[in-house]
Amino acid sequence: MSRFSERHGYVQARTALQVEAADEGLRNNLWNVIALHYLPDAYYWVEDNGDVKSFLQLLHHSFLRRPIDEIKDDLPQERQKLKNIIRTCKWFHLYDLIEFAAQPEAARHLPRSTRDQLIADINGVLEVNGAGYRLIDGIVTPITDKAELDAIDDALAVPDGYAVAREHIRTALELYSDRASPDYRNAIKEAISAVEAVARDHSSKTKTGAAIKDLGQVYDLHPALAGALNQLYGYTSDGDGIRHAMKTGIGVDPALAKFMIVVCSAFVSYAVEKISAK
């Protein structure tokens, strides 16, 4: 069940999508990946494994910038030290650490796996936790920019006269960012429903496609924009489009869901602004 702050809009898109933030679940998952790849608990003493020792030395020298003679031979102590750093550091230092761990120099000391597997596991954790970043070629890269976040936040702030559309966007965001069980198919459905709500409430047309076209003419939306949105809506309604994908479970992924939420949010806030100015 979503929290009160999420259901009633007190958590903004930037927080829900974990941009410039890292919650406890994300930190714990990243710790698990680092620990499993670099510090396996099969060993008790650092000296028992040359790769573990080399990684800890590199970590202290190149990342923590601490004397390497402070490394304890007791591996559980070293594990706990790094765990505490991951759980308490600022969000941007957490991503510094992730980049460090994924660099070839560090990955040479992976005792049981490969760099490609490490990066895949890190990206899997970032995706599951709704983080706005991914490791691309060893570099932490934003996948959500400020303009996208602003588009969603603007749609969440439309006046009460557009409460139905606003609630559809809010629900779409909640479904997308649910850490335990993200629902991308229904997130897309809710985002589309926000467009439908604005179009039908301000047009005499009963069919959404016609209502979007009518909205563009009545409220002087740019023809290219109205046409593009109509085509996008047509795609979602087509037998081979998104709604077909929602029925079959094929082709519905986080990237597609985020795209639809951003596009539909942008349309809602733009249309509201044009309608209010008429």
Mean of the pLDDT values across residues 35-59? 86
Lowest mean pLDDT among 12-26, 52-66, 194-208, 228-242: 228-242
DSSP annotation of 144: S
Is the pLDDT assigned to residue 87 strictly greater than 90?
A: yes
Lowest mean pLDDT among 76-85, 123-132, 243-252: 243-252
The model's confidence at residue 144, banded by pLDDT at 50, 70 and 90, is confident
| pTM greater than 0.85 (yes/no) | no
Q: 24-38 vs 75-88: helix axis angle to the nearest 10? A: 150
Q: 208-218 vs 184-201: helix axis angle to the nearest 10? A: 50
Question: What pLDDT, on the 0 to 100 scale, is given for residue 239?
Answer: 47
- The residue ranges of every structural domain in the chain are 18-142, 146-277
Compute φ and ψ for 47, nearest 5 degrees. Answer: -65, -15
Question: Which pair of structure tokens corresponds to residue 207?
Answer: 């069919």
Sign (positive or negative) of CA dihedral 258, 171, 128, 238? negative
* Amino acid sitting at position 260: M
The model's confidence at residue 270, banded by pLDDT at 50, 70 and 90, is confident
Residue 43: Cβ within 10 Å count: 17
Compute φ and ψ for 27, nearest 5 degrees. Answer: -60, -45
Higher-confidence residue of 158 and 148: namely 158
Percent with pLDDT over 90 in the chain: 32
Is the pLDDT assigned to residue 240 strictly greater than 60?
A: no
Q: What is the pLDDT of residues 198-230, one digit of tens each?
A: 888 877 777 777 777 777 777 777 777 777 777
